[in-house]
Amino acid sequence: MARAPFTPRPPARSTLAALAISLRPGQWTKNLLVFAGLVFGGRLLDGRAVLAAAWTFALFCALSGAIYLINDVRDQGGDKSHPLKRLRPIASGELQPSVALLTASALIAGSIAGAYLLSPLLAGLAATYAALLALYSFILKHFVIVDVMTISAGFVLRATAGAVAVGVPSSSWLLTCTTLLALFLALSKRRHELVLLGGGAVDHRPILGEYSPYLLDQMISVVTASTVIAYSLYATSPETAARLGTSRLGVTIPFVLYGVFRYLYLVHGRQGGGSPTTLLLDDRPLLLCVGLWVGTVGILIYTPLGR
């Protein structure tokens, strides 16, 4: 009987490569939210403000990477039973938990120190973000509804930090829209996990036992309507027109409507939503919609066409 040809196993990744993967740079696009204050605060053409926002973006990328490391160490048992997360370096045994925690500690300390170089308030926001998300990894993720609200709070802290970094007040509209959009994404992710894992959902994430597709659909419906209404009110508000110097921001509402509806279609029709970043980058219509929204907002605020 002939022997099967020998196929060598691919070499294991180095510790540095495993760390880089565990920091999940593909998820750092969420930190682009720190630029919202720069854009909607009218500071996009201010070079110093742009540098401050870019520095804040880098700090929050380091902070979010540290939180991912902590979360993966905390969840390594459950991740081993997940069809996708079992391939993560910590769950697969490629990266030692002690190395991950040491790196996370260094990143958090360095980020808070880096934030202090801009302002003590920014450092306080960075520390609050790290503490809140670490608390989520260990405790808050086990409380129904509180778990998704904590995720939403993390987005609000990003937006607030971006505004503080460039020296503009945090608009109540910005915080409201950020909160609602973050809840929309978090609830959609919970639904995706519940549908994808089926009967094994509770083994992977115990809190999923408190949810059902019907409950999540009801909550998503409420948040979806609230998000569209809040943005529409913001875009057509006289206060917004006076602050941004344009009364035409309402023309961007169709982009928001299409983006929300397209995302819902992908969640329900394509079983997406597990990773908002991946969904955005992989779906060309959604990516084009976001690009058109960003471009239109920029033209309206920063060119005479918006006057």
Look at residue 9 and tell me whether its pLDDT is greater than 60: no
Tokens of 37: 């204050």
Instruction: Tell whether the model's pLDDT for residue 4 goes beyond 70.
Output: no
Q: Which two tokens stand for residue 57?
A: 């973006």
Q: At what angle do helices 120-138 and 146-166 cross, to 10 degrees?
A: 160
Residue 6 confidence class, pLDDT cut points 50, 70, 90: very low
276 pLDDT tier (thresholds 50, 70, 90): confident
Per-residue pLDDT tens over the stretch 181-213: 999 999 998 888 888 777 666 766 788 888 998
State how far the Cα of 47 lies from the Cα of 116, in Å rounded to an integer. Answer: 20
Report pLDDT digits (tens) over 26-43. Answer: 889 889 999 999 999 889
Give the pLDDT of residue 137: 87
Asked if 211 and 219 touch (Cβ cutoff 8 Å), the reply is no
pLDDT at 1 over 70: no
d(CA 74, CA 205): 12
Domain boundaries, the chain: 14-170, 171-307
In this structure, of 100-104, 274-278, 297-301, the range with the lowest mean pLDDT score is 274-278
89: burial class by Cβ within 10 Å (0-12, 13-18, 19+)?
A: buried
pLDDT of residue 82: 67
Fold of the CATH domain 14-170: Tetracycline Repressor; domain 2 (1.10.357)
| pLDDT category of residue 171 using cuts at 50, 70 and 90 | confident
Over range 271-296, report the average pLDDT: 85
* Residue 284 predicted with pLDDT over 70: yes
Name the residue among 1, 22, 173, 175 with its Cα closest to residue 97.
22
Q: What is the pLDDT of residues 64-104, one digit of tens each?
A: 999 999 988 887 777 666 667 777 888 888 889 899 999 99
Pick the residue with more confidence: 167 or 93? 167
The whole-number pLDDT of residue 274 equals 64
Residue 195's pLDDT is 82
Confidence of residue 293 (pLDDT cuts 50, 70, 90): very high
Where does the pLDDT of residue 60 fall: very low under 50, low under 70, confident under 90, or very high at 90 and above? very high
Whole-structure pTM value:
0.87
Q: What number is the average pLDDT over the span 116-125?
A: 96
| Averaged pLDDT, 228-249 | 92
Q: Which two tokens stand for residue 150?
A: 């904590």
